Amino acid sequence: MPRIPAPWTIKRELLIKSESETDPNFGCKPEERPYPDLIRYGVINLDKPPGPSSHEIVAWVRRILGVKHAGHGGTLEA
Amino acid sequence: MSGVLPIALEEATKTIQVLLESGKEYVCIMRLHSDVPEDHLKEVLMEFEGKIYQRPPARASVKRRVRVRRVYYIDLLEIEGRDVLLRIGCQAGTYVRKICHDIGEVLGCGAHMQELRRTRSGPFTEDEKSVTLHDIVYLYGRWQETGDLEYLRRFILPMEETLKLIPKIYVRDSAVDALCHGAHLTAPGVVSLEAGINKGSMVALLTLKGEAISLATATATTKEILQMNHGIVAINNRVLMPRGTYPKMWRTRQKRP
């Protein structure tokens, strides 16, 4: 079987089409988002413990942080 | 089972589709049902790399028809008696439990998955940014006590992290608000872009500050986009940024009397 490269091993070169600058008065760098946007536009890289279901874990996180919506990326089935 | 489970909050839940479709990596213990020579095991493991045909197991959440899945690699980490420690990188929707079972079938002796841990989900891995539930409770509590946002930033990452593995197009400020209103991206709005974009590729549209604007489908290749002076280059699928974050720069046709 021919090997298929894993998506995380692919390096993508950035190509410039035109020059432009961004106005510091609007928006902000993702890592500098103020509260509460940093939660509203946030993700958690959780190390799930064995036992409770992915669904239960998300419900806990929702309650701990007091957020309305939360969802997980791919069930880790029991 | 344990391991990497990314959780998106509030508005960031719009990016979950990207994670559901992205590759995963697992470490698992496969228990063989009789002794197998190491050389033979290695040969059989190689057969399960590349494109494989897989029927989802009985207890599955999808329809049980044979599907083609991509297995990027199977690394043999350790053997202890009949227990085999494997690291498997695979496409979303690949059942590792089934791979173990099928390896057993090919070996002729049978095998089953004894334990499973996910070590990667798309761009997220076990690293200094991953946290346990205990960490979350502690850090959130510290933030409530001190008001120091650094405690939140220690475990809440920007949703842009989710988009790390998909190709990106960077957009000039003047085009951002139109995109937030659902407009498609046209060639003059493009400042830079990554190599390897094809027609139909999912792309992330970002501002020059690196903020996610939307998820889109490219309608031209990287090469074509670089040469285009006008015309649509990507169609919006999911807008992530709220309207009005950047100023409105487009003209509206005057209302008829």
For residue B60, name the pLDDT band (cuts at 50, 70, 90): confident
Residue of A22, A31, A37 to mutate when probing chain B, most B C-beta within 10 A: A22
Chains A & B: contacts with CB separation below 8 Å: 251
The pLDDT of residue B69 is above 80 = yes
Find the closest chain A residue to B211 by CA distance. Answer: A30
For residue A8, name the pLDDT band (cuts at 50, 70, 90): very high
Cβ atoms of residues B19 and A74 within 8 Å: yes
Cβ atoms of residues B124 and B6 within 8 Å: yes
Q: pLDDT for B84-104, tens place per residue?
A: 999 999 999 999 999 999 999
Alpha-carbon span B83 to B80, nearest angstrom: 5
Alpha-carbon span B89 to B4, nearest angstrom: 14
Alpha-carbon span B147 to B141, nearest angstrom: 10
Q: Helical H runs in chain B?
A: 16-20, 38-47, 96-107, 133-146, 150-153, 173-180, 222-227
In angstroms, the Cα distances linking A13 to A74, B196, B197 are: 29, 8, 11
Report residue B103: phi and psi, to 5°. -60, -40
Q: B170: Cβ–Cβ under 8 A, 6 or more apart, which residues? A: B190, B191, B192, B193, B206, B207, B208
pLDDT at B59: 76
The pLDDT of residue B256 is above 90 = no
Q: pLDDT for B110-139, tens place per residue?
A: 999 999 999 999 999 999 999 999 999 999
Q: Is B142 on the interface with A (CB under 8 A)?
A: no
Alpha-carbon span B226 to B63, nearest angstrom: 42
Strand partners, B214: B205, B239
The pLDDT of residue B226 is above 90 = yes
User: Which chain A residues have a beta carbon less than 8 Å from that of B193?
Assistant: 14-15, 17
pLDDT at B191: 98
Rounded to the nearest integer, the mean pLDDT of chain B is 95
pLDDT at B61: 75
Partner-chain contact B9 A67, CB within 8 Å: yes
Q: Is A66 on the interface with B (CB under 8 A)?
A: no
Q: A10: Cβ–Cβ under 8 A, 6 or more apart, which residues? A: B165, B196
- Of the candidates B126, B45, B55, B125, the residue with the CA atom closest to the CA atom of residue B84: B45
